Amino acid sequence: MATVIDNPQPLNAGDTPPLQATLERLLNTIAEGDQIALESLFEVVSARLFGLQLRILKDREIAEDALQETFFKIWKNASTFDAKHGAPMTWLNSLARNHALDVLRRSGTRADVSVKLADFNPDTWRNSERDFADTFEDVEGLNLCLQELSSDTQACIIGLYCDGYTQQEISESLQRPIGTVKSWVRRGLASLRECLEK
Amino acid sequence: MSIEEREWDLAAAEYVLGISSDEDRKVFDRLYQIDEDWITRVHRWESRLDPLHKSTVPVNPPAYVLTQVIARINSEKTVATPITDLLDSSELLLTERGDDASIINQPRPATQVASTRNQGSAPSSSSVITSLEQWRERARYWQLATLMAVASLVGVAVLGPDYIARQYAQPDIGKTVAVLQSEELQPLWTVTYSAPSDRGGTVSTGRVSITVVGEPQLTAEQDHQLWMVLSGEAGVQSVGLVPNVAGESITFDLPVGIEEATEFAISIESLGGVPGPAHGPVVTRAFIVKARSDI
């Protein structure tokens, strides 16, 4: 039986708990084999996932293939989503990101190899963050903790996570030894954990 | 948090960031399939870092992406043959949901396993749990050793830490069926084990039948080869080349008794296969569970 979510809104309409509930319901319905629910989910999250994959893969055609594969995986694996392990958008983001990273690993190269590390600027982030936040507190918490890191460490973590750069690429971009980059990342992660657990 | 706990947690963070070494990542991928503690750590870091995605600008994909997804789903529906149709239902008892949950307790099961006993009763979950716990311990040992850059772990995993799809088979039973899956969780082959007693004891080692139920990926210059991973440090034993075309089957008399092996594995080899023990990358594995004879 098809279940249609009434007027699914793209995520930038405000990702509030009701949307989380919507995503959960969509995933549950997809798990039952409902294609209409998959189409609804596509309408709601595809721009988000495509943006994420395009940022990593830096090639529109490859990103389109990756998105197709990701939605096929969502179709096949929706039943494995478990809300107790995290928010549905986190699950979807992880699926999309991991697939994009797999594509990069398999190809062994990136279409655009120029590394451009993003500046961390929570003031400019804030508006867009609000749009997509599962909970505002999560974003604020991470922002505050990122601000405690050095700018190089911030750039490394964001470059690794959001752009899918390798540590080697970042090392070359920053013209710092790979060991230094690894050390920044490791210390940064440890600091983030400590800060977020406060 | 102890030093060891911190190391595990940082390893999970690096895994989520995507910066684990290839070798570590394969082990962590495997742990992610079976280890609740590892799964929890990974999800915690995914949740911690997920807000970073808020800095990414959404981009509308072309509509044909969805069209292609739907077409692919419909296409699979048309050609897919239920695995159960390929098996003699009198010979197996599909794993019940209750067993599934208690056995693996994982959010993303990579494998469905079906097994039965001659008597027709489901395997005791306690025996299976024991075996999986043993595997978990082994995987933990493996992971820890990897983290500490210990190189000599030959006895832990003869075939190397490639991707696995976990299966289990019980050597004490007449028929056991496992479904071997790809990394993308697509069923590729079913494995049916027949104990020697099923065939009047003519072959003392038992027999396995392999049926292609998916689309194993190979180039024209490659073959898939089935191996038995022997207990301890005894290495591997080639069983033979397996077919790759959906619907095809092959049956082998096992080269050694199943009780001497811990796993079945399928690797990619150059055309014609290799005699072993050296082998190519492993694409999927089936763990053999040592069922207690009194169950």
Residue B77 inside a domain? The answer is: no
For chain A, domains (ranges, CATH) are: 14-107 (1.10.1740.10), 122-196 (1.10.10.10)
CB contact under 8 A, A46 and B13: no
Query: A136-150, B22-36, B52-66: which has the highest mean pLDDT?
Result: B52-66
CA B256 to chain centre: 21
Residues of A in contact with B18 (CB under 8 A): 97-98, 101, 160-161, 164
Per-residue pLDDT reduced to its tens digit, A4-27 = 444 455 544 444 457 788 899 999
Residue predicted with more confidence, B124 or B59: B59
3-state secondary structure of B268: strand
The band of B71, judged by pLDDT with boundaries at 50, 70 and 90, is very high
From B27's Cα to the closest Cα of chain A, the distance in A is 16
Query: How many domains does chain B contain in total?
Result: 1
Give the pLDDT score at B63. 92
Q: Do residues B214 and B266 make contact, with C-beta atoms less than 8 angstroms apart?
A: no
Residue B140 inside a domain? The answer is: yes
CB contact under 8 A, A185 and B60: no
For testing contact with chain B, the best of A45, A52, A90, A138 (most B CBs within 10 A): A90
Residues of B in contact with A123 (CB under 8 A): none
Q: Which of A35, A39, A125 sits opposite B54 (nearest CB)?
A: A125
Residues of A in contact with B108 (CB under 8 A): 77, 80
The size of chain A, in residues, is: 198
Give the pLDDT score at B228. 87
Residue B43 inside a domain? The answer is: no
Reply yes or no on whether the pLDDT at B74 is more than 50: yes
Residue B150 inside a domain? The answer is: yes
Q: Which domain holds residue B102?
A: 82-288
Per-residue pLDDT reduced to its tens digit, A102-120 = 999 888 766 555 667 666 6
Cβ-proximal residues to B139 (8 Å cutoff; 6+ apart), any chain: B27, B30, B31, B34, B35
Q: What percent of chain A has pLDDT over 70?
A: 76
Residue predicted with more confidence, B207 or B291: B207
Residues of A in contact with B54 (CB under 8 A): 125, 128-129, 131-133, 139
Q: How far apart are CA A73 and CA A83, in angstroms?
A: 18
Residue B275 inside a domain? The answer is: yes
Reply yes or no on whether the pLDDT at B34 is more than 50: yes
CB contact under 8 A, B58 and A47: yes
Q: How far apart are CA A54 and CA A62, in angstroms?
A: 8
ipTM of the complex in this document: 0.85
CB contact under 8 A, A87 and B108: no
Residue B24 inside a domain? The answer is: no
Reply yes or no on whether the pLDDT at B294 is more than 80: no
Per-residue pLDDT reduced to its tens digit, B275-293 = 887 888 888 877 775 443 3
Reply yes or no on whether the pLDDT at B271 is more than 80: yes
Lowest mean pLDDT among A9-13, A87-91, B96-100, B183-187: B96-100
Residue B169 inside a domain? The answer is: yes
Residue B32 inside a domain? The answer is: no
